[in-house]
Chains A and B, each alone.
Chain A
Amino acid sequence: MTTSLFFIQLINGLQYGLLLFLIASGLTLVFGVMGILNLAHGSMYMVGAYLAWYFFTHTDSFLLSAIISAVIALSIGILVERTLIRQLYHRNHLDQVLLTIGMIFVFNALQSLLWGNDPQGIKVPDLLSGSIPLTDTLSYPVYRIFVAVICILLAAALYYTINKTRLGMLIRAGESNREMVECLGINISRLYTIVFAIGVMLAAIAGVLSAPMVSIVPGMGEHVLIACFVVVVIGGMGSIKGAFVAALLVGIVDTFAAVLLPSIASMVVYILMALILLVKPKGLFSN
């Protein structure tokens, strides 16, 4: 592998990792604050991508469809939390796993009913459709760089919100001591609704941002889901910082494994995960 190819693959890995972080951040946030394991998180990613496609074909504006999709995702999040997730706060993880498996079924069926099963795609917004030449054959699309930048900005925003704002203070308090927060007269129920809805919205935004880069197909959420689990577990469940580090690690390892170890490429990230859990059973940055 030449040095230039090495750096190109490194960029590929970082870019993939950043996108993984964006999807996984919602999953780990919801788990960290509420102790809820949401297997339907991948479905939210799928919903985001389909919404973006649907509104883009109707409005022809990527920005507009992104905003509408994010708002709809937020509402779905509130609705699902108020009606279903709320039932699970005093239940064990097994019930959460099962209820959210049921949700996967429902979202898949709704997707097929509402939008059909043909693969769909949307074109990259004109403003971002250029590319930057890297070598004489390879060039890098501006849109992917844009997505990477957005991911970094969102990561920074999450970090700021959690560490510097009142909401973040409540979230951190909720993570460490639920009863305490309640005693302080904070409406924990509303906090949970907000956090869950934000989690759903993050997954949907990742779907929206991916829409111009990927084929929008049934079942796209389930592929992503398992990758997110790996990220969340390696990083330490509930840790945003951990998810960030783990996502980049998984992105890079997966990218290099694909080219260097083709015969076991899809096993490598799971081997990585198993090894890390052997050394640190609760992940890299567990609380």
Chain B
Amino acid sequence: MANKNNLRHLMFGLAGSALLLTPQAYANETIKIGVMLPFSGAYAALGSDGRNGLRLALKEHRERLHGSNIEFIEMDTEARPERAPEISSALLNRHKADFIVGPVHSGVANGMLRTLRNRDTIMIVPNAGSAEVTGALCAPNVFRTSFSSWQTSYPMGQVAADKGYKRVVTITWNYGMGRESVDAFEESFTAAGGEIIRKMLVPFPRTDFQSYISEIASLQPDAVFVFFAGSGAVQFALDYDALGLRERIPLIGSGFLTEGTLGAQGKAAEGLVTTLHYADELDNPNNVKFRELYKSEYNRDADLYAVQGYDAGLMIVEAIDQLQGKVKDRQAVIEVMRNMTVPSPRGDFTFSKAHNPIQNVYLREVKDGVNRVIDVAMPALEDPARGCNM
């Protein structure tokens, strides 16, 4: 169905990319939401899910918007960091966007922060998990609805130690997110008495893993911890299975290993154990309702990226509602947002001082092509926000 959806988007786009949600009769103020996500290139699927989630939240809670016109201004980042300052400057200075939601990619986040920190807008990060966003580069007007790399990997170190693993090999792409994730795993795993016998760094975005996996096989560790996302996650799981290691050496990782990739991984993902702040199967009323709504609206299953976009939308709805549409007072918006409890499909969460979610991290295992929740790996986990002076 993906193709039909895309064709529809093309039509939509041709008709004009701004979409007005509320009837003109009630209109008082126009609230502009800039969307900076990748709509083309390798991260395009993540971008469109995030955008869908965001729009769904505003549509669902239309009656709480106090008659404000919501105008979306969508910009394709192409996941290219060098375009980020220019696009965010467009949203800030030309469109005077009240909220800017983006990006997916951490490199783009860095570029956006350059232009948006401490400026006259509210930036909500619906994915990019690099530590800096709510660490060294934290700012009052920057919020994150997703996660920090630390949050999704730190609990796994404890889990691995509890499972009795002593010697572990880690492997990830040699870039910020990858190194941060592996370091967070190492932090808790070695504290619990484990040993990292080899840290492998693969040049980004190489997806030819066969030689690394052969090397891992010869090291015979108790388990392998990985951080890979998207195509890298698919490829790693496929190669790991094809070379016969899946049944012999347990593969564990940050949840991105099996997020939005299970269809492509097939049986190669069976039995993989991961930690993440969300799982499609989470059994809570918000999640069930959200997933039904999403499916009926977009004719495709919601995923993590849709949830994170949806939560960014919920934050905006809540701020508009509480301030009765008066979002030009950024200080008031920040006050509302930092004290907010977001009724997310992942479970309610609040914000840390650095504006990162304080949230449960779940332990999940893939069974029959689905991430099943086994347990809460760590409840209400807060990122240490190293380097943030807020």
B231–A215 touching, CB < 8 Å: yes
B242–A141 touching, CB < 8 Å: yes
**Cβ contacts under 8 Å, A113 to chain B:** 3, 6-7, 10
- Is the C-beta of A149 less than 8 angstroms from some C-beta in chain B? no
6 nearest A-B residue pairs (beta carbon): A116-B2, A215-B234, A139-B244, A121-B264, A117-B44, A138-B217
Partner of B214, one of A5, A215, A254, A265: A5
Given A119-B230, A119-B231, A255-B211, does the pair A213, B242 have CB atoms closer than 8 Å? yes
B44–A262 touching, CB < 8 Å: no
**Cβ contacts under 8 Å, A266 to chain B:** 203, 206
- Is the C-beta of A218 less than 8 angstroms from some C-beta in chain B? yes
- Is the C-beta of A112 less than 8 angstroms from some C-beta in chain B? yes
Q: How many residues of B contact A (CB 8 A)?
A: 47
B249–A118 touching, CB < 8 Å: no
- By beta carbon, the residue of chain B nearest A264 is B203
A219–B3 touching, CB < 8 Å: no
**Cβ contacts under 8 Å, A8 to chain B:** 214
Given A215-B231, A215-B264, A219-B41, does the pair A137, B212 have CB atoms closer than 8 Å? no
Interface residues of B in 315-333 (CB under 8 A from A): none
> For the complex, what is the distance from the CA of A6 to the CA of B263, rounded to whole Å?
34
- Is the C-beta of B45 less than 8 angstroms from some C-beta in chain A? yes
CB within 8 Å: A-B pair count: 139
Partner of B42, one of A109, A131, A218, A262: A218
- Is the C-beta of B207 less than 8 angstroms from some C-beta in chain A? yes
Interface size bracket, A side: 35 or more
From residue A160, how far is it (CB to closest CB) to chain B in Å? 30
B260–A119 touching, CB < 8 Å: yes
- Is the C-beta of B267 less than 8 angstroms from some C-beta in chain A? yes
> For the complex, what is the distance from the CA of A119 to the CA of B233, rounded to whole Å?
10
From residue A168, how far is it (CB to closest CB) to chain B in Å? 33
Main SS at interface, chain B: helix
A220–B3 touching, CB < 8 Å: no
**What are 22 A-B contacts defined by CB distance under 8 Å?**
A2-B218, A15-B210, A108-B40, A116-B2, A118-B2, A118-B264, A119-B263, A135-B218, A137-B249, A138-B218, A143-B242, A214-B207, A214-B235, A214-B238, A215-B238, A215-B261, A217-B230, A219-B42, A255-B210, A258-B202, A258-B206, A259-B211
| A interface residues, Cβ below 8 angstroms from B | 2, 4-5, 8-9, 12-13, 15-16, 108-109, 112-121, 123-124, 131, 133, 135, 137-141, 143-144, 213-220, 223, 254-256, 258-259, 262, 265-266
> For the complex, what is the distance from the CA of A2 to the CA of B215, rounded to whole Å?
10
- By beta carbon, the residue of chain B nearest A266 is B203
A120–B3 touching, CB < 8 Å: no
* Residue of B205, B218, B248 with highest tally of chain A CB at under 10 A: B218
Given A9-B214, A121-B234, A138-B243, does the pair A114, B44 have CB atoms closer than 8 Å? no
From residue A220, how far is it (CB to closest CB) to chain B in Å? 7
